[in-house]
C-alpha cells in the first residue's frame, strides 16, 4: 500500500492492515511527544494511533507546551516520558544509524541530537 494511503487509513483506526505500524522519529526537541501521545490527537485529528489516553500525561504535555523556561519545560517532558514509558503503549525500539567519528585525527566533531549535521567547525589534524 502506498505510504500516504496507509497513513490515511491508519488515522481512521487500527485494523488488520494497520495494526502493526513502524515509524521513526528523529528530533532534538521533545515536542513530538504531544503529537504521538496526547489524547486530544487521536485520529482523524492527529497521529495517536495507539488510542493512548492518560490524563496526567495530557496535563504535563499541555503545561510543557506553555512553559517558557527551557529547564522547567524539559522537566515536564521528562515526567510525561516516564509515565508513557511505564504505560508502554508502544514497543519502543532505539536504533542509531548516525555516523560517528572515531579517529583521533577528526577534530571538533560533536554528534548531533538529530540527523542534521553541522560540520563547519570540524577539521582533520
- pTM for the predicted model, two decimal places: 0.59
Nearest to 11 by CA among 45, 36, 37: 45
Can you tell me the distance from the alpha carbon of 21 to that of 88, in angstroms, rounded to the nearest whole number?
A: 15
pLDDT at 54: 97
Nearest to 83 by CA among 33, 41, 117: 33
pLDDT digits (tens, 9 = 90+) for 87-103: 998 877 666 666 677 78
Can you tell me the distance from the alpha carbon of 2 to that of 9, in angstroms, rounded to the nearest whole number?
A: 11
Vertex 28 angle, CA 25 and 33, to 5°: 55
Amino acid at each position: 500500500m502506498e505510504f500516504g494511503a496507509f497513513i490515511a487509513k491508519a488515522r481512521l483506526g487500527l485494523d488488520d492492515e494497520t495494526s502493526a505500524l513502524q515509524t521513526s522519529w528523529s528530533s532534538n526537541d521533545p515536542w513530538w511527544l504531544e503529537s504521538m501521545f496526547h489524547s486530544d490527537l487521536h485520529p482523524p485529528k492527529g497521529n495517536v494511533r495507539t488510542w493512548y489516553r492518560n490524563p496526567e500525561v495530557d496535563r504535563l504535555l499541555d503545561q510543557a507546551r506553555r512553559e517558557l523556561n527551557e529547564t522547567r519545560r524539559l522537566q515536564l517532558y521528562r515526567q510525561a516520558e516516564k509515565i508513557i514509558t511505564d504505560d508502554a503503549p508502544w514497543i519502543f525500539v532505539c536504533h542509531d544509524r548516525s555516523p560517528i567519528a572515531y579517529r583521533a585525527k577528526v577534530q571538533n566533531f560533536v554528534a548531533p541530537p538529530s540527523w542534521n549535521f553541522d560540520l563547519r567547525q570540524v577539521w582533520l589534524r
